[in-house]
Amino acid sequence: MIDPTLDPKFNRRIVERLRAAIVDCNLNHVPQAVRRVIQTGAWRERVEVNLHWKFDKFCDFITASPVEGGMGWKPELVEGLLQKAEDRDALKLWQEAIRADDARERDAQDQANKAASTQGRRTDLFDKNFFNTNKNDVKEVKAPAGNSETYALRKLRKDRPDIHARVLNGELSAHAGMIEAEFRDKQASRKMTPLDQLRRWWKKASEEQRATFRGEIE
């Protein structure tokens, strides 16, 4: 929840604390700094010297170059520090903020596609003969179905706008929203084993990190 008393100049201090905590890899301060920058919305707008920075997406604030007002970090870096700090609340806030960006982007794209079509028919996709007005030349674009996130967002937007809003806020995933709305059955989840964790993080590791790990286990 954004604190209305904060202003762009004060937001700078909050962002500076986050930057210092991450750069120093200070696990005692990282969770608190992450919570503060998200809960206050300080990442959205701040003033540094004579520069005024604004961001619409949290992920852009994290990944954009410092010369563009961003932090210049990979999201995996911050998430990794939060996991090491073992602060579940801060990690949950972080994941919700990142997830909200993805959901809003997919939802906006889906609505744009819907606006550009009429009952599943796009008028901007024609045969090679541009001037042929035969209706059969208009190609059909089918709406996404099945278990796709786009379908889930569309279904929730139409039938459960309350849950749809929570998905866009990052409170839960589109799939979790479909389950809560009882549009999908909940499947039993399997707890990740250490081997699952190794496989997951191996994919995310850089070549340098992989080489270091190989050297440590040999």
Give the model confidence (pLDDT) of 10-37 as tens digits: 999 999 999 999 999 999 999 999 999 9
Q: In the prediction, which pLDDT does 2 show?
A: 46
Which tens digit of pLDDT belongs to each residue from 127-147?
Answer: 444 445 555 554 445 555 545
What is the distance between the alpha carbons of residues 218 and 216, in angstroms, rounded to a whole number?
6
Give burial (CB, 10 Å; 0-12/13-18/19+) of 38.
Answer: buried
Confidence band for 190, pLDDT divided at 50, 70 and 90 = low
CA distances from 71 to 16, 35, 51, 182 (A): 10, 16, 15, 40
Answer for the pair 69, 108: CB distance below 8 angstroms, yes or no: no
Give the strand pairing for 51-54 and 117-118.
Answer: unpaired
**Cα–Cα separations (whole angstroms), residue 134 to 94, 131, 178:** 52, 9, 40
Token pair of 45 as six digits:
């707008």
Measured in Å, how far apart are the chain's first and last C-alpha atoms?
48
**Higher-confidence residue: 202 or 67?**
67
| Torsion angles phi and psi, residue 201, rounded to 5 | -75, -25
pTM: 0.57
Phi, psi dihedrals of residue 72, rounded to the nearest 5°: 75, 30
* SS3 of residue 129 by DSSP: coil
The predicted model gives 144-160 an average pLDDT of 78
Q: How far apart are CA 59 and CA 70, in angstroms?
A: 9
Q: Which has more pLDDT, 2 or 89? A: 89
Q: Count CB-CB contacts under 10 A for residue 31.
A: 21
Task: For residues 117-126, give the mean pLDDT.
Answer: 50
pLDDT (mean) for 32-49: 92
Question: In angstroms, rounded to a whole number, what is the distance separating the alpha carbons of residues 46 and 56?
Answer: 12
Q: Mean of the pLDDT values across residues 83-96?
A: 92
The pLDDT assigned to 127 comes to 45
DSSP 8-state class, residue 171? S
